[in-house]
């Protein structure tokens, strides 16, 4: 299978080039777009996914409900809907953009567009990408921060969300 090609963007999200996935996941100078969707249930709990041990980034860590790269030329909302279908096997009608931010770590730099929707399940998730899913109370997420069970990317994004509440 050919390697995924990802757009390299400036801080405004304008495309400045294309690179292979392996390049953007080892060079933090290559900013690329991703979408994250925070999926809440009617009780206000946040769905987290436990990443498959087969993943090259944050294997076995609890992570945002849905997250993935934006394909070259793809609309952000189209990417969000595609990722929800690919990862959790669901569609959400009312998706709302919350914020964007730049996430930086030792191996990558992402321009993250975070969305929110409400869905109570079921979630026929993709077992190649996800080990399990569970709804978490916000207080339980706060207690887990810094404990090594959440992905670095999720911790960065959820701190932005929590500070806006």
Domain 5-163: give its CATH architecture: Alpha-Beta Complex (3.90)
Q: Report yes or no: 155 and 145 within 8 Å, Cβ to Cβ.
A: yes
Question: What is the pLDDT at residue 1?
Answer: 77
> What is the C-alpha radius of gyration for the chain, rounded to an integer number of angstroms?
15
Regarding beta strands 109-118 and 130-136, do their DSSP bridges make them parallel or antiparallel, or are they unpaired?
unpaired
Can you list the positions of beta strands (E) in the chain? 5-9, 15-20, 31-40, 46-51, 62-63, 66-69, 96-104, 109-118, 130-136
Question: What is the pLDDT at residue 87?
Answer: 96
Question: What is the pLDDT at residue 84?
Answer: 97
Question: What is the pLDDT at residue 45?
Answer: 98
Query: Tens digits of per-residue pLDDT, 25-64?
Result: 999 999 999 999 999 999 999 999 999 999 888 999 999 9
Q: Where are the domains of the chain?
A: 5-163
Question: What is the pLDDT at residue 104?
Answer: 94
Q: Which residues of the chain have pLDDT under 70?
A: none
DSSP-assigned letter for residue 95:
-
Question: What is the pLDDT at residue 56?
Answer: 82
Give the pTM: 0.94
Question: What is the pLDDT at residue 164?
Answer: 86
Question: What is the pLDDT at residue 27?
Answer: 96
């Amino acid at each position: 299978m050919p390697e995924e090609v990802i757009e390299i963007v400036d801080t405004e999200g304008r495309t400045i080039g294309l690179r292979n996935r392996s390049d953007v996941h080892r060079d933090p100078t290559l900013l690329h777009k991703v979408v994250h969707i925070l999926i809440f249930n009617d009780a206000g709990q946040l769905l987290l996914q436990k990443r498959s041990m087969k993943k090259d980034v944050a294997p076995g860590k609890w992570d945002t409900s849905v997250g993935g790269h934006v394909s070259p030329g793809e609309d952000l909302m189209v990417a969000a809907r595609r990722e929800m279908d690919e990862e959790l096997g669901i569609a959400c009608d009312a998706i709302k953009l919350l914020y964007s931010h730049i996430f930086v770590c030792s191996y990558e730099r992402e321009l993250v567009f975070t969305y929110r929707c409400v869905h109570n399940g079921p979630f026929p998730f993709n077992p190649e990408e996800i080990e399990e899913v569970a709804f978490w109370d916000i207080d339980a997420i706060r207690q887990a921060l810094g404990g090594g069970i959440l992905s670095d990317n999720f911790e960065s994004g959820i701190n932005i969300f929590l500070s806006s509440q």
